[in-house]
Structures are given as structure tokens and as C-alpha cells.
Structure 1
Amino acid sequence: MQSIREKFKDLTHEDLRDWAGDRIYQRGKDYTSCVSQLSRTEDGTLVAWVSGNDEYATWVRHEGQADFDYNCTCPYDYGPCKHAVAVLLAAASRIRQRKEIPLLAPDDELYLEAFETAQDDWDDEDDTAPSFVPPAPGTIKSAQNLEKLLAEKSRDQLQRLLVNLAGEFPDVARRIREKGQLESGKVDQLVRSLRKEIRKLTAQEAWYSHWEHRGNLPDYSHLEKQLLALLNNGNADAVMELGEELWTRGIEQVEQSDDEGMTAEAISACLAIVLKALPQTSLSPAEQLLWLAKHELDDQYGLLGDIDSIVNNPRYTPQHWREVAAAIEEMLGRLKVSKTSEFSKRYYRERLVLRLRDVYVRAEQTAKVIPLLEREAPHTHCYKELVKALRNAGDFDRARAWCIKGFRKTIKKAPGIADGLQRQLRKLATDEGRFDLVAAYRSQDFFRHPSDEAYLALKEAAEKIDVWQAVRCAVLDYLRTGNLPVKDGFHLSWPLPVPEIEFEQAQTPSRRLNFPNWELLIEIAILEKRLDDAVAIYQERPAARHWGYSVDEALAKAVAASHPDIALRIWHTIAESLIGQVKPKAYKEAAKYLRKMHQVFQQTARQGDWTALIQDLRIRHKAKRRLMQVLDELTKNRKLV
């Protein structure tokens, strides 16, 4: 196994900066002095306490090259944290001083805090935690010691202990009281108490500031435990009664909350127990399913979570589903048809229609699905679902007719639906083997939204019918001139048919593009590995017409080996632009591009040019003190150890 020194020997500060990001790297440097009890495990994982607003247990493990695995008990969860960086820098400092990093014992408090927390996190996300996380024997040993201690006490001693704990900790008293109510059959008392708790919890203002790490979050954990206890004691109806109260009041609380969804998650955990209770209630199977359908329709915040385990339960027969279908048909019949095409007006009706569609399938009444969708499509815009149903039934002609009809109905006020119907027409063409029409729709996509992804999709479709060269010539000409290859439905050199639907000029974004489209021409040349052409287009492009550096960066990365001077020019231009902003943050960003230049200078044996560049920047910007600090960092020895 590699020693920590061997793992660190090829790592640089730039590797660490690239991994964590400049901001986190800089903050991590400031926290190096806050690292204590720096230790290691048998596999070379670094572990330490890092002091901040609190004391955090942090571990970092080198995975190879400049990659690290890590975990920290701090609340930051947007990538590597400053504490992980601090641990790595502290370890590097210890290695440079030729000091030993001691082995951490598995029963040490730091070990237990660091790896128990990591284990809990993985248990929440996946059944399998990474194999390198060792077990936490201290936890097992602690529980065994506690059992042994209690076993030595008499009944009276245990009773006095519980009474004292109940007097000191109200939660213990409540748990004992509630357990007694359940065991003695006094469920009504417990339900009344929990109903009061629901009203108290849902009346709280729920908010949380991630940046300030403070807020007010209602604690639903006790309610969740008691709902489960009620259910386990055979009181499913009581759970449903409380669940109804929580549903009504909880939705109102979630609507007004500003807490990154944390209250919604807590309520959802309680409602998961309500859903578990549903099949055990005194409601008939059809009533249970209808309860679920009605609540799902009103569930705008996903509070019910996954309901598949219920609706897929074999205890619900097609006859039960037919009863549900009849009830939803009645609900739909009572709804008035909106005279407007506004989304909000048709949203509820659309959800009801799609729920009824699903119920028909489970009720083995699939013959009702297409007539339902045909009746409702003009009112709910569920054209996509109708077309899919017709495609699945093999009725391609009606599917195509509804696609075209729906497209014309939605293109002005619901263009997203119209786009989806255009895609359905392309899929229909694929189903029927009309690959020339498939390519025509791909070309329509490209001319509306020119991009490298659309170009590749068009290429794949055109190659399938052996017309790519003609299509490619027309596409590249369009990107140069802005002239569409098809006008008024006809063009001698264009090999593709006219699509069945056409977007009006107002709905065609490419009409607003400037031509030549230099950026996309460069991107396509890079895609096709025509690097000489990409460089030529870049040099041809007027300097004044510029909308950012993303394409320039892509070009520099692609040609750094074949055309190093072009890459250097691009990175130099970007760096100078950032330095010109006269902001410390921009200086750090500029350093990224200067580092790229340094790599190319090294690879091409031009260290003198690198030295001259840095000297020139120092002379021209000598008044920018923060920039001078950044340049100092660039020219230091970058090895960690």
C-alpha cells in the first residue's frame, strides 16, 4: 500500500485548486491552523477535527492523480469544503516537516464521529456503503455495556430511573405516557393529543436560510413516530383521521414556507405512514383507491411521494378500479369546460383526464381511453397522450391527423406542446420507415435552434438515407449566409421533403440570428476534427462581433497541441480581459488561463516566453496589488510536498 508521502509526491497546489475551486481553496488555506488531531487510517485516509463555527470531523482520501474522496460533518454540501482542503494542506505541511501522521484508533471519538456520520449518509442514499469505510465497533460496544448495566438493576431501581428521567426530560415522560395509552387501549386520548400537535406544528412559520445556517423548522419527528406506533397497534383508521388533518393544514404550511423544501419532506414522511395505513382501514377497496386519486390530484408539492406500491397492490381488482372509474367520470362530468386556453384553467381538468385514463387501463377498460382523449384534447391540450395512444394502437393515420390538428391549435399560445407534437410526427415517420421525413424534421429542428447537438442529430438522420453530403453543404452555406435551403417548399439541391407542419416565421428563433454564425461554424469544425478549418474560421471572424469566450475556450482546448500559438493567444486575450475588470475575483479567474498558458509553454520548451509574460504583466499592472499576489502564487513552487 502506498504511503501518504508517496501519494502526495506528485500533487501540486494547482491540483488542489482545480479540485476544490479557487474560492474554497483559498478559504481552506486560512483554516489550516484550525486542524487538530490530524490522523490516518490503515488505508491512508486522512482524518482530523477542523474548528469553524463548530468543530467538524473531516476525512479525505486520495483516489489517484488529482482526485479525492471526502466527507465532513459541516453543513456545506455543494462540493469539496474548506475543511477538507485544510486537512490536505495540514497533512502536506506535516510531511514536509518529516513528522509522522499517527494511526487513528477505531474506538476514538474522532473516528466514530467521522465514519459513523459518513455511514449514516450512505445508508440514507443507498443500501451499500463504500467498502473502505470501516465499521464502528465503539457503537456496538457502548450498547452492550449499557445493556449489561441495566441488567444488573432491580425492578424498583429501573422504575426510579425511568421516573427520574421522565422528570428531567419531558420527551421521555411523553413517550412513556403515549406508550401506556396505546397499550391500555386509550387511543382516543392519544389521537386528541396528536391532533393538537398537528395544529401546533402546522401553525408555525417554516423558513430556513442556508447561508446563515438558521431558521425555524417545525419538528415532525415525534408525530411520525406516533403515527407509526398507532399503525403497528392496529389503529389504521385513527392514522387516516390524523392524516387527513395533516394533509389539509400541511399543504397550507408548505405553500407559505421558505425552507428549501425541508418542511415538505418532513410532512411527506408522516404521510408515507398514512399511505401505509390506507389498505388497512375500514374503507372499501374502491373507496381507498378513490381517496388516493382525489388526494393525488390536489398534491401540487409531491407530499404523497411514491404511490406505486398501493396502486400496484394485487388486492385491488379490475372491478374495484371500475368503481373508481365511474366516480372519476362523475367528477369530470361536473367540471365546466373553460372557455379560455390558459394553462391554469385547464390544468386540473387535464390531471383528472389523465388519472381517468390510467384507471381505465387498470380497470381493463382500455377501449375507453382513446375516445376519452379525443373528447378532451381540445379542452385539455392532451394531444401528446392521445397521439401516443393511437400510435400504440397502430392507428398511424389518426395519430398523424391529431398531431397536425393539435399543432395548429397550440402553436401560438402553447408552443411547448406544439414542439412536442412535431417530435411525435418525427416518431411516427420513424415507425413507418419514412426516414427521409425523419431527416426533414431533424433539419427543421436545426434551422429553428442551430446547435452542435442538432447538427449531429441531423447528420445521423441524413446518413441513414445517404444524403448527408448534400444536406451538410446546404447547412454550412446557411450558417455562412443565413439563406435557408428550402423556400416556398422548393429547392433544386435540397434532398429532403417538406415537413407536414411548418412553424411561422415569428416562431422561428433562427430568424433573429446574425450571419455568418461564426461560433457554430467553429464548433462544427471542432466536432469534425477539422482543426485547421476551425482556426481559419476563428481568424476570419471579426473581432468586434463577440458574445463571450465559450467557443474560444473550446477551440483553445482542441488545438493546444496542434496550434499552440492560437491556444496561447486565446487564453492571453481572456486573461487580459479579466484583469481589465480590476476585481480580485477576476484576477483569480485570469490565473486559470495563465496556468493553461504555462503548461503549453512548458510542453513547447518556451520557459523564457512564460517568464517574459509574467514580467510584462508585473510592469503594466504594478499598481494592482492583489494581482501581484496572484502572480506570486503562479510563480511559486507548486508541489504540495
Structure 2
Amino acid sequence: MTSSDARIALSQFRAWAGEVVFKRGQDYELRGRVRELAATPEGGLVAWVHGSERYATRVNLRADQLAVDCTCPYSGTCKHAIAVALAYLNRPDQASPLPIALASDPRLVLLERQAATTVALAAQPAQPDAGPAQESTLHAFLAAYTQAELVALLLDLAQRFPEVRDALAVRQMLANDDADQLEAEVLGRIVAASADPGWRNRWDGDGYEPDYGPVYDGLKLLLNQGHADAVLSLGEHLLEAGINQVEQSRDEGETAAAVAMCLDVVFAALPASSLEPDEQLTWAIDALLRDDYGLCDGARDVLDEPYPPDAWSTVADALLDRLEELPASNGDFHREYQRRRLADFAILAFERAGREAEIIPLCEREARTGGSYQRVVEQLLAAGRSAEAEQWARTGIAATARQYPGIASALREVLRNLREEAGDWAMAAALRAEVFFDGPALPSLRALEAAAERAGVGPEVRAAARHYLETGHPPQPKARSVGGAVIPPWPLPETGIAPAERRHPLQFPQLGLLIELAISEGRPDEVLRWYDQREQARYAAINADIVADAIARAYPERAAAIWQGLAEARIAQTSPAAYEEAALFLRKLRRVWVAQGKAAAWRGLVEQLRATNKRKRRLVETLDALLRE
């Protein structure tokens, strides 16, 4: 299995193994459960994988399919195989070849024995009265027992092994056609599996993962026997217990994945149940509305089934009634979230019922009631009603700017796009100016300048924006003379939108941004001018290393002084990581001084630093390595 083949296979792992198995294999790999990874003679991988037991696992990629052999009891692509493949892909040293496992390797021996046993069992006759010559060793061994001895053997195994006892109990219920008893048994399994939260200690890998395997098996047996309603009834208990358990769990998602796997069986039973089509849809929607943990993704498959429009219409009316019953949010985030999700499903129901004309009126009501302005704007735009969308965007910005600035920002972006599509570059630039003046940054400045150029007022806007960065003075409608330079009048129109409230005042000059701007434009004089004013900016984050890089060609001595100061500051921190950073700065200093013919001075500086800090062993090692380069 070559590295390129493995990477091709990685994109298929989730499909081959399924999400639950893939995540468990990923967890095994991250926790270092894969040991003694080796290559097989035919180009595959083999390793020990430590789980509840130690398993030998072999992985091959054949004809774009993952071939898996593992001594675990799982059939198909198991979590151990996923862990082995991921361990190979994530090796620290990709260039080094793996050791080759010889034919006598105990892992390969175990796997070959298992394969031989599988072939022998597959070759045994299907009929219990087949001739002794065709019977396997195990079949012959069991056939020699009397009925009483077989009963005693099974009872003994059931007493010692809970899995055998459960399997026999389920078969007894099925033989008696006792669905009620089996349903009660599965309910007991749900109660047992959900009793304790899952947990994982990421430091040592210890933890507890609830075992939902018996629940899954029981649900599948019921469904396969045609008891879909019983599965649905159990699904109610499972969903409630699973949500409570996941809320309390502190693991890497294993508990949620196990519950979701069982709920997938429940949703598979839904279309086969005795519920009416609209009731089936409502059951799936209610499950999704209750789920905040991704447990009910299988319900979306139900919603994608070809249900008739009249069923969807009934669901739409019921959802509208529920929206009417919900109290107004009044700024309560949880209530707003509930309304948004409920309205989203109502919109889906309208679409599937062929009642599209009712979607926008619903969205407009919900925008007024629940603040869902983005949704109504998106629906209006999709319907080609851009003028109404713009008006709703403006209303939404005013309503959300203070409490939900992220929503207001998204609506501003809608306005800008609409103005640009209409060719109104002056208003588009004015909207971009609001973003820049609210939170100055290089991307927002570049976007403003580009829009201003399209509007034909690039120089005027550029001068006002940069004057703002230096002084904090906002644009003025009249021309001004500042320090001998004329700041032209602000040429952009008013947007009609109230400026956003700032929680913290800006500090001027905006030294960090001014330096970043000068670097991007290749002006080292300006870089140095603003850097030398850094004492004025208590809160400005200025990366001195980047400044030195920017001025090194024009001002090598200043750059060298910056790097020397940075190196000495890192050395004073007494941290091995800081020593490595100091070495980086000293290398940059060496490049400048060597170009000036001062190589001896650089070596003298490093030796002096070494002598001054000779008690710092790790630093001395780092400096010695630097001197040997």
C-alpha cells in the first residue's frame, strides 16, 4: 500500500467504514493504539492494534477497494483497519521505509490461520445431517454431543459469557414470536447503555464508552421481523435518554456516534411504521428540533423520501400553528433559535407542498417577530425582488447592529453587493467606508480604495482614509489643510445607516496598520517613521521582526539593531523555545553583518552571549550549534 494509494483511499474511508467506525479508528490512531507498523511483502500494511484485546490487522488497497484482515470479531472494515491506515499516513518520518514483515511474523501467521478457518467453515455443509466426511472439525466435535450435553454446554457458555446469554435470549423471543418481550429486552438495554455518561482522559487515553451494540442489534432484529412500530416506540426512549447522556458526556464524540448509529435504525423504521405520512414527517422533524448534537441526521433521509404534497401541506399547517403558539422572543436567544428552526421546517414544508407563494409572507412575519432578517432577504433575492430585499436589509441592520453585529455585517454585505450589481459604485464605496472606519484593517482599506476607484473618487477617498489612520479625524464635507497637505472633501454619499456603536475606543495613530500599509507598498522610510513612534501606542501589536525584514535593505544598521535586541530579549526569558527564536534573529543579524564585512563582530557577539549566559546549558548548546553553521 503505497503512500499515494493510501491517500487516495483516505477519501473513501468514511464510505467504506461508516462514520461511527471511522471516528473510532481515528481515535485509536490518535491515542497510539497502533504498534509495530510494518509493510507486508505484497505491499500492504500490518500492525498490532491494542483495543479491548490485542488484534493483528492487515490492510491492502486492491482495485480501489480496501481489503481488510483482522483478528477482531468485526466483519468488514473495522476500526482497527482504519487506525492502521491512518497511522501509516500520519507517520512523522514519511521518507523512511517501513520494516518488512516476514512470512513468519506472528501477526501474519495469526491472520493466515484465521483465513484458513474461515474457508473451512464456509465449506461445511448447510444441512445438519450431512455426511461426516464433509463436516468441519468443530461440526464433528459438536455432533458427537447428545442433546442434553449440548444444552449443558450452552447453559455453561451463557453463564460465563453475557454476549452468548443475550444472543440466546433474543433467539428464544424470536422463536416464540414474542415481540413485546423483545421490545422490553431492548428497552432494558437502552436503560443500561444510557445509565452513565461517556468520558475520555485525553492525557492518558483512559475513559468509558457506553456499549450501544446490544441496543443496535435488538433494534435491527425487531425491524427485520417487521415490528417497525415497536422500533419507533423504543426510539422515543432512546432519543430522550441519548440526549441526556450526551449532554453529560465528556468524551471525543464516541457516545454521540453510538447513539446516532442506533437512531439511524429508528429512522429507517419510520417509513415502514403504521403512522400516516404526515405523522411520519412530523416525527422526523420533531426529532431534529429536539437534537442539538447531530444525533438525528438519519431523520433528514426520511425528509428526502418522496412523500405526497398533501402530507407536506398538513405538516406545513401544523408548523404554522406551532409558530403562532410560541411566545415572542423579546431578545431571548434560545427562543429565537427555536423559532428559526421551526420556521425553517415550515418553509421546507411549503416548498414540498407546492405552496411557494406563502414562503415570503411567512419570512416577513418571522423577521418582525423573531429577527430573522437574513432569511427574508435571501428569499426576496431568490425571487428577484431586490428592491424589497434592500429595504429589509436596511431594517435588519438597524434592528441587529447593537445586539447581533455579525448579522448586521452580513446584511451590510448584501447591500454592498446589490449596489455594485446596480453599478452604484459611490454607494457601494460608502458602505465599504463604514466598515473601514468602524474597524480599520488592511483588507477593508483595500476594498474601500478599489470601490472608490470604480466610483471615480479614488485619490480623495485614499487621502481621507489615511489621514484618519494617522489622526483619528473622520472625513469632512469640506477641504482641509493639514501640515501643508490638503485633505480634499469627502466625496461619498451618506448611506442612511446609523454607525455601529464601538465598545472600545480606537487608538491613533493606528501604528500597526500604518506599518503594515507601508510594508505592503514597499516604503521603508514610512515603515521606520511609524515604528519609531511605537512608544505612543500602548496597545498596538507591532511585530519588530517583520519591521526589520522590511527595512533591512534600506536601513541595514537599524534592522541589525532590532534583531540584536530581539535576540537578547529572548535569551533573557530562560526558555528553550525562546532560545531557538533567539538563534533565528541572530542568523538574520549575521546575514546583515556579513554583507557589511563584519563577520568577526557577529562571532564575537555570539561568543559574548555564550560567556555571559554560560549557566544556561540549553542556550549554550543552541549558540554552539549556531557558531558551527
Match of 1:157 in 2: 141
Cα deviation for residue 283 of structure 1 reads 1.3
Cα deviation for residue 380 of structure 1 reads 0.5
Bigger shift: 289-298 or 232-241? 232-241
TM-score normalised by length of structure 2: 0.74
Bigger shift: 160-169 or 178-187? 160-169
Q: Distance in 2 between matches of 1:397 and 1:606?
A: 69
1:348 to 332, 338, 358: 338
Structure number with larger C-alpha Rg: 2
- Asked if structure 1 preserves the Cα contact closer than 8 Å seen for 2:478 and 2:490, the reply is no
1:500 aligns with 2:493: no
CA RMSD of aligned residues (A): 4.5
Match of 1:575 in 2: 567
* Cα distance change on mapping 1:48 and 1:366 into 2, 3 Å: closer
Q: Distance in 1 between matches of 2:588 and 2:87?
A: 23
* Cα distance change on mapping 1:46 and 1:222 into 2, 3 Å: closer
1:429 aligns with 2:419: yes
Match of 2:396 in 1: 406
1:623 to 595, 598, 615: 615
Per the alignment, in what secondary structure is the counterpart of residue 295 of structure 2?
coil
Q: Distance in 2 between matches of 1:564 and 1:55?
A: 62
The count of aligned residue pairs is: 546
Match of 1:453 in 2: 443
TM-score normalised by length of structure 1: 0.72
* Cα distance change on mapping 1:477 and 1:80 into 2, 3 Å: farther
Bigger shift: 228-237 or 592-601? 592-601
Q: Distance in 1 between matches of 2:474 and 2:596?
A: 44
Q: Distance in 2 between matches of 1:598 and 1:229?
A: 74
Structure 2: where are the runs of 5+ without partners?
1-33, 58-79, 125-135, 481-486
- Asked if structure 2 preserves the Cα contact closer than 8 Å seen for 1:522 and 1:551, the reply is no
1:475 aligns with 2:469: no
Q: Residue type of the partner of 2:371? A: H
Cα deviation for residue 109 of structure 1 reads 5.7
Q: Residue type of the partner of 1:372? A: L
Q: Distance in 2 between matches of 1:625 and 1:444?
A: 55
1:192 aligns with 2:216: no
Match of 2:310 in 1: 319
Per the alignment, in what secondary structure is the counterpart of residue 185 of structure 1?
coil
Specify which structure has the bigger relative contact order, considering alpha-carbon pairs within 8 angstroms and separated by 6 or more residues.
Answer: 1
Mapping of residues 53-452 of structure 1, within 5 Å: 103-105=100-102, 108=105, 139=111, 142-148=114-120, 151=124, 152-153=136-137, 155=139, 157-158=141-142, 163=154, 168-179=160-171, 181-182=173-174, 185-305=177-297, 307-314=299-306, 316-338=307-329, 340-452=330-442
Q: Distance in 2 between matches of 1:365 and 1:105?
A: 68
1:512 aligns with 2:484: no
Per the alignment, in what secondary structure is the counterpart of residue 512 of structure 1?
coil
Per the alignment, in what secondary structure is the counterpart of residue 210 of structure 2?
coil
Q: Distance in 2 between matches of 1:105 and 1:468?
A: 72
Match of 1:6 in 2: none
- Asked if structure 2 preserves the Cα contact closer than 8 Å seen for 1:523 and 1:551, the reply is no
Q: For 1:157-204, what per-residue CA distance to the aligned partner results, in whole angstroms no more than 9, with x for missing partners?
A: 357799476565332442344355446633333221121111122121
* Cα distance change on mapping 1:279 and 1:607 into 2, 3 Å: farther
Match of 2:10 in 1: none
Cα deviation for residue 154 of structure 1 reads 5.8
* Cα distance change on mapping 1:486 and 1:55 into 2, 3 Å: farther
Q: For 1:491-540, what per-residue CA distance to the aligned partner results, in whole angstroms no more than 9, with x for missing partners?
A: 95333222231214xx136x722222121122223333x15356434543
Cα deviation for residue 318 of structure 1 reads 1.7
Cα deviation for residue 589 of structure 1 reads 4.5
Cα deviation for residue 619 of structure 1 reads 2.4
Q: For 1:11-39, what per-residue CA distance to the aligned partner results, in whole angstroms no more than 9, with x for missing partners?
A: xxxxxxxxxxxxxxxxxxxxxxxx99797
Q: Residue type of the partner of 1:263? A: T
Structure 1: where are the runs of 5+ without partners?
1-34, 59-72, 92-99, 113-136
Q: Residue type of the partner of 1:523? A: E
Cα deviation for residue 544 of structure 1 reads 6.3
- Asked if structure 1 preserves the Cα contact closer than 8 Å seen for 2:284 and 2:302, the reply is no
Q: Distance in 2 between matches of 1:602 and 1:296?
A: 67
- Asked if structure 1 preserves the Cα contact closer than 8 Å seen for 2:511 and 2:534, the reply is no
Match of 1:25 in 2: none
* Cα distance change on mapping 1:329 and 1:84 into 2, 3 Å: closer
Match of 1:523 in 2: 516
Cα deviation for residue 144 of structure 1 reads 3.9
* Cα distance change on mapping 1:438 and 1:145 into 2, 3 Å: same
